[in-house]
Chain A
Amino acid sequence: MSNEAVAAHAHHEDYLAHKGFRSWALTLDHKRIGVMYLFTTLFFFLTGGVLALLLRLKLLTPGPALFTDHTYNVLFTMHGVMMIFLFIIPAIPSSLGNFFIPLLIGARDVAFPRLNLLSYYVFLAGIVVTIGSLVSPMDTGWTFYTPYSARTGAAITTLTLGLFLVGMSSVLTGLNFIVTIHTLRAPGMSWYRMPLFIWAMYATSVIQVLSTPVIAITLLLLAAERLFGVGFFDPAKGGDPLLFQHFFWFYSHPVVYVMILPAMGIISEVIPVFARKPIFGYRAIAYSALAIAFIGFLVWGHHMFVSGMSTTAGVIFSFLTFFVAVPTGVKIFNWIATLYRGSIALDSPMLWALAFIFLFIIGGLTGLFLGALAVDVHVHDTYFLVAHFHYTMMGGTVMGLFAGLHYWYPKISGKMLNERLAKIAWCLIVPGFNITFFPMFILGVQGMPRRWAEYPEKYQGLNTLATVGSWILAAGIIIMFVNFWRSLHRGATAPANPWQGNTLEWQISSPPPEENFEVIPTIHEWPYNYGTDRRAHDGEHHRQA
Chain B
Amino acid sequence: MASTTDKHNEAPSGAHKEAPVSARLGIWTFLATELLLFGGLFTAYAQFRGMYPELFHLQHLKLSRPLGALNTVVLLTSSLTMAVAIGAVRRARQKTMNLCLMLTLALAGVFLVIKYIEWSHDFAEGIFPKTNIFWGLYFVMTGLHGLHVVGGMAVLAALIVLARKDRINAEHSAPVEVFGLYWHFVDLIWIYLFPLLYLIG
Contact = CB atoms under 8 A, between A and B. Distances in A.
8 contacts: A111-B26, A179-B25, A182-B22, A184-B9, A209-B29, A228-B130, A231-B133, A238-B51
A203 to B, nearest CB: 14
B182 interface: no
A210 B33 contact: yes
Given A183-B22, A239-B133, A213 B47 contact: no
Contact of B136 (A178, A210, A232, A520): A232
Interface stretch (B36-44, B84-92, B191-199): B36-44
Interface string B1-32: 11010101100000000001110011001101
B130 A179 contact: no
Nearest to B6: A108
Contacts of B35: 213
A255 to B, nearest CB: 14
B9 A183 contact: yes
B22 A214 contact: no
Interface stretch (A43-51, A217-225, A405-413, A422-430): A217-225
B39 A178 contact: no
B191 to A, nearest CB: 19
Contacts of B37: 213-214, 216-217
B139 interface: yes
A171 B44 CA distance: 23
A175 B139 contact: no
A319 B4 CA distance: 51
Interface size class of B (residues with CB under 8 A): 35 or more
Contact of A224 (B6, B29, B140): B140
B35 to A, nearest CB: 8
A175 B40 contact: no
A214 B36 contact: yes
A187 interface: yes
B40 A212 contact: no
A167 to B, nearest CB: 10
A455 interface: no
B33 A230 contact: no
Question: Which of B51, B130, B132 has the most CB atoms of chain A within a 10 A radius of its CB?
Answer: B130
Nearest to B52: A238
Interface in B80-132: 128-130, 132
A237 interface: yes
A26 interface: no
B40 A183 contact: no
A229 B132 CA distance: 9
A271 interface: no
Interface in A183-220: 183-184, 186-187, 209-214, 216-218, 220
Contact of A179 (B29, B43, B129): B29
Interface in B40-59: 40-41, 43-44, 47-48, 51-52
A323 interface: no
A216 B35 CA distance: 12
A229 B129 contact: yes
A231 B55 CA distance: 15
Contact of B33 (A213, A232, A238, A247): A213
Interface in A159-193: 171, 175-176, 178-179, 182-184, 186-187
B133 A232 contact: yes
A243 interface: yes
Contacts of B38: 217
Contact of A238 (B1, B26, B133): B133
Contacts of B44: 221, 232, 243
Given A108-B6, A108-B8, A230-B130, A182 B25 contact: yes
Contacts of B29: 175, 178-179, 209
A107 interface: yes
Contacts of A14: none
A248 to B, nearest CB: 11
Interface string B171-186: 0000000000000000
A240 interface: yes
| Residue from B1, B21, B34, B44 having most chain A Cβ neighbours under 10 A | B44
A267 B47 CA distance: 43
Contacts of B40: 213-214, 217-218, 221, 247
Interface in A458-491: none
B51 A111 contact: no
A230 B25 contact: no
Nearest to B140: A224
Contacts of A526: none
Given A212-B33, A229-B129, A232-B44, A107 B8 contact: yes
A187 B2 CA distance: 7
Contacts of B9: 111, 183-184
B144 interface: yes
Contacts of A224: 129, 136, 140
B140 A230 contact: yes
Given A212-B33, A240-B51, A520-B8, 11 more contacts: A112-B22, A179-B29, A183-B21, A213-B39, A217-B37, A228-B130, A230-B140, A232-B136, A237-B133, A239-B133, A240-B47
Contact of B130 (A112, A209, A231, A520): A231
